Amino acid sequence: MNSKLIDLSIIVPVYRDVETLSILCEDFKACIGSDTSYEIIFINDGNYQNAVTRQLEELVKMYENVRAIHFSRCFGQHAGIAAGLKNANGKFMISMDSDLQYSAADCFSLYSIAVKEAKDLVLSTVKVRRHQIFKSLAIKVFYRLLSGIGTPVIRDDLGSVFVIRRNLAEGLARMYDRYRFTITMALWLTDDVAYAEVKHSPRRFGKSGYSFAKSLQHALTGITSFSSRPLLISLGFSAFFAFLAIILIGYFLFHMFVSGQHYLPGWASVMLAVLSSSTVILASQAIQGIYIGRIFDSTKGRPLYFLQSKSNAEAKLFEDRG
């Protein structure tokens, strides 16, 4: 990153949008005053040597505060966000989509909140999503699932736009998760979060780059890459089967010795054997899941902690990097 800092960096991963890029530049130019220094960083995600590339190079020539980063192939939206954060020069950074469904004015208002309230992270919320009904419902269910598996508490009305302070962006750069979900990673680093409602508008050009298959893959990545709790599902099943086996043992014994009722020869023993073996198998899988989960967490290489600030506490022996 450049050592000369400016007020704001606007990070925009681009997949197939061409028509929106110049509009986005003009919209930010209109809503940001001269007292705020800013840059727009477009990350060209796999559109090498096509209309997107040509448009971005034209914008770089037209606007001195526009920069472009070109990927060699499509690495995905969150890889684009990571590249933008790493190359940004801003004290604060906005991450937004290139489809104009969030206005430049709303995005800049999130930055204003971050500065005014001195927040590490400002997340957008959306009252009405301008997606198809099924997609809007799927997004709500997805966020609730994320909260349910032990990630930081996530609201089901989150938008995709957020503002992050520079020190938190540097913390994200030290998180080496290959399969990334940026908002949950940022929430893992800090509790200093504000929320602000923004308007979600219909797409003005083209179609979303997220097909149903890609959206499903993205959801599975978000659920499985951040928490090892899904590995422990077998532990719950083993407890259920163990409880069921105990109930059935009591039931069989009661009917055999109290009521005198007998079942088909061998039926009770077979059922108990099935339940007992299922309990043992699932319990052993749960134990394996615990160890695999710890391996999973260790391979991410995340810092043990993240410092927000220091007061009269300089590191003497080595650099304090968590």
Give the separation between CA 220 and CA 205, rounded to whole angstroms. Answer: 28
More confident residue, 287 or 195: 195
Range 124-129 average pLDDT: 89
The contacts of residue 109 (CB under 8 Å, 6+ apart) are 196, 198
Verify that 154 and 77 share a domain, yes or no. Answer: yes
61-78 pLDDT tens trace: 999 999 999 998 888 888
Verify that 149 and 246 share a domain, yes or no. Answer: no
Query: Residue 145 corresponds to which tokens in the numbers above?
Result: 């699932």
Residue at which a domain ends, from 192, 226, 260: 226
* Domain assignment present for 314: no
Verify that 54 and 193 share a domain, yes or no. Answer: yes
More confident residue, 110 or 129: 110
* Domain assignment present for 207: yes
Which residue is listed with tokens 């957020």? 162
Give the separation between CA 196 and CA 54, rounded to whole angstroms. Answer: 35
Which residue range forms the structural domain that includes residue 183?
6-226
Q: Which of 49, 69, 60 is nearest to 22 (CA)?
A: 60
- Average model confidence (pLDDT) across the chain: 81
Q: Which of 71-75, 188-192, 301-305 has the lowest mean pLDDT?
A: 301-305
* Domain assignment present for 308: no
Verify that 168 and 275 share a domain, yes or no. Answer: no
CATH code, domain carrying 206: 3.90.550.10
Q: Is the CB of residue 13 less than 8 Å from the CB of residue 98?
A: yes
* Domain assignment present for 14: yes
* Domain assignment present for 72: yes
Predicted local confidence at residue 308, as pLDDT: 60
Residue at which a domain ends, from 226, 253, 278: 226
Q: Which of 57-71, 171-185, 242-256 has the lowest mean pLDDT?
A: 242-256
Phi, psi of 86, deg, nearest 5: -70, -30
Verify that 123 and 243 share a domain, yes or no. Answer: no
The structural domain count of the chain equals 2
Verify that 153 and 239 share a domain, yes or no. Answer: no
Answer whether residue 27 shows pLDDT above 60: yes
